[in-house]
């Protein structure tokens, strides 16, 4: 079976779907009509041809290209507003020494941060396919990652451009010369130079340094490094949690806890390094972390059936068919772990015995745990794959599903 062509496991007594042709990554062969749900625009049980994939993805590709171009244009633009800053008191004391740090070499350049945030998650997603073996899982995971990275980047460059702020090394880069102020004594003109209380505030007209460095040092908030790092690594954290079932219904091994939090450690280290090399203030880093995290959660939920609900957060969503939280799924097996019956396919999806209602998303729990999900009670060890049963088990519903 091909790496991206894993089929739903079935009982021997059930007729097995015809094996699709293998023709490379996009070589899905003829469409398997028996695997397609009613109303589905495509089946997720097999690989599409390149043309089929492009048909459903071209709008995203076009949108990403447009947003990338827009973000790059804003990034290259000069700061929009005129920013005022204080230099010295009358006795020569620096007013804001927190903006007078020396310009240092970046510990992690912005290009390196962006590449790490993109390629490390992609590599991990591909490694997970050793067991998952689903083209559409890779597709949704990578597309979602790009959603997160691109939207976070565009979001933060607009804030930099319109709001920004001073970097810790601003005065060192600016190299201010107060005599160049447009409204200095004997010079005609009015503005924000020599303005404010006791006239200690100026604008960038008094700077004598490199114009590119000056413009860059006026756009500190939020941190682009941190935004990219959290957009990519928080997304990876959510993906690994779903595929390893760390926070689910069994006691996992400790290495899984370490594995899902390792990306978050990487994001924190990238952001924290910016306070060491004095490229950002702590609040710039915090703002970037918030933006990246929000975009990662939003992007993941767009392409997977849930974020925290362990019953569904590993299942990629179909673009043309709504996901049924009370029925089966073509990719209910799409997870890495095989502990506690997850991904085994030996029983009904998420715990319902195949003879007692295996097609539903039931899982083993008692009445005290039941929150109205209408799930089946199992009298056997819990399994979490795709079963072949036709019945649907039910428990008394009281509060309804709470999907996140």
Are both 26 and 97 inside the same structural domain?
no
| Residue range(s) defining the domain that contains residue 328 | 319-404
Using the CB atoms, write b or e for 139-156: b if 16+ within 10 Å. Answer: bbbbbbbbbbbbbbbbbb
Cα separation of the two ends of the chain: 33
The answer for 79, left when phi > 0, alpha when psi is -120 to 50, beta otherwise, is beta
Are both 174 and 205 inside the same structural domain?
yes
Are both 154 and 270 inside the same structural domain?
yes
In whole angstroms, what is the distance from residue 64 CA to residue 22 CA?
Answer: 30
Are both 343 and 267 inside the same structural domain?
no
CA 144 distance to own-chain centroid: 7
Residue 116: what pLDDT? Answer: 94
Are both 177 and 250 inside the same structural domain?
yes
Domain contains 54: no
Are both 151 and 288 inside the same structural domain?
yes
Domain boundary among 252, 269, 303: 303
Are both 122 and 222 inside the same structural domain?
yes
Residue 256: what pLDDT? Answer: 95
Are both 114 and 210 inside the same structural domain?
yes
Domain contains 96: yes
Domain boundary among 303, 327, 343: 303
Residue 330: what pLDDT? Answer: 79
Domain contains 393: yes
Are both 102 and 175 inside the same structural domain?
yes
Are both 278 and 352 inside the same structural domain?
no
Domain contains 70: no
Are both 127 and 7 inside the same structural domain?
no
Domain contains 370: yes
State the total domains in the chain.
3
CA distances from 199 to 172, 181, 384 (A): 21, 11, 70
Strands 85-86 and 201-202, how do they pair? antiparallel
Domain contains 177: yes
Q: Model confidence over 42-63: pLDDT tens digits?
A: 788 788 889 889 998 999 999 9
Are both 230 and 114 inside the same structural domain?
yes
Residue 246: what pLDDT? Answer: 94
- Three-state SS for 159? helix
Per-residue pLDDT of the chain (404 residues; tens, 9 = 90+): 455 554 444 444 444 444 444 444 444 444 444 444 444 467 887 888 898 899 989 999 999 999 999 999 988 888 877 788 888 887 778 888 899 899 999 899 988 999 999 999 999 999 999 999 999 999 999 999 999 999 999 999 999 999 989 999 999 999 988 877 766 555 444 567 777 887 788 888 888 889 899 988 999 999 999 999 999 999 999 999 999 999 999 999 999 999 999 999 999 999 999 999 999 999 999 999 999 999 999 999 999 999 999 999 999 998 888 888 887 777 888 889 888 888 775 433 444 333 333 333 444 433 333 444 444 444 444 455 544 334 444 444 444 444 44
Domain boundary among 278, 303, 328: 303
Using the CB atoms, write b or e for 295-311: b if 16+ within 10 Å. Answer: bbbbbbbebbbbbebbb
Residues 6+ apart with CB under 8 A from 74: 154, 157, 158, 161
Question: What DSSP string describes 213-253?
Answer: HHHHHTB-SS-HHHHHHHHHHHHHHHHHHHHHTSSSSS---
Which of 274, 31, 242 is CA-nearest to residue 124? 242
Residue 366: what pLDDT? Answer: 39
Domain contains 310: no
In whole angstroms, what is the distance from residue 199 CA to residue 191 CA?
Answer: 12
Domain contains 399: yes
């Amino acid at each position: 079976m091909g790496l991206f062509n894993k089929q739903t496991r079935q009982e021997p007594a059930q007729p097995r779907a015809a094996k699709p042709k293998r023709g490379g990554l996009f070589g899905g062969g003829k469409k398997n009509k028996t695997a397609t749900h009613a109303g589905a625009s495509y089946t997720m049980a097999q690989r599409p041809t390149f043309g089929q994939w492009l048909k459903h993805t071209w709008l995203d590709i076009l949108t990403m290209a447009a947003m990338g171009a827009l973000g790059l244009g804003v990034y290259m633009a000069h700061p929009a507003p005129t920013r005022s800053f204080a230099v010295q008191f009358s006795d020569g004391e620096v007013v804001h020494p927190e903006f007078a740090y020396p310009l240092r070499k970046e510990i992690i350049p912005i290009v390196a941060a962006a590449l790490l945030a993109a390629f490390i998650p992609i590599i991990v997603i591909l490694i997970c396919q050793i067991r998952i073996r689903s083209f559409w899982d890779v597709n949704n995971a990578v597309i979602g990652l790009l959603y997160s990275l691109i939207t976070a980047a565009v979001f933060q460059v607009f804030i930099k451009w319109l709001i920004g702020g001073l970097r810790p090394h601003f005065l060192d880069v600016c190299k201010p010369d107060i005599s160049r102020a447009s409204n200095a004594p004997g010079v005609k003109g009015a503005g924000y130079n020599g303005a404010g209380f006791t006239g200690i505030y100026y604008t960038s007209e008094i700077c004598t340094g490199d114009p590119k460095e000056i413009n860059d040092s006026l756009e500190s908030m939020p941190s682009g490094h941190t935004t990219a790092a959290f957009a990519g690594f928080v997304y990876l954290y959510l993906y690994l949690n779903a595929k390893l079932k760390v926070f689910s219904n069994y006691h996992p091994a400790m290495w899984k806890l370490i594995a899902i939090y390792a990306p978050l450690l990487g994001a924190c280290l990238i952001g924290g390094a910016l306070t060491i090399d004095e490229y950002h203030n702590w609040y710039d880093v915090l703002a970037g972390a918030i933006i990246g995290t929000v975009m990662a959660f939003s992007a993941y939920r767009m392409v997977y059936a849930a974020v925290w609900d362990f019953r569904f957060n590993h299942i990629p969503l179909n673009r043309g068919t709504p996901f049924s939280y009370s029925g089966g799924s073509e990719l209910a097996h799409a997870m890495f772990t095989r502990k506690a019956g997850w991904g085994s396919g030996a029983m009904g999806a998420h715990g319902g015995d195949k003879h007692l209602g295996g097609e539903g998303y039931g899982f083993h729990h008692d009445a005290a745990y039941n929150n109205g999900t209408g799930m089946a009670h199992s009298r056997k060890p819990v399994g979490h794959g795709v079963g072949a049963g036709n019945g649907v088990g039910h428990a008394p519903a009281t509060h309804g599903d709470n999907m996140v």
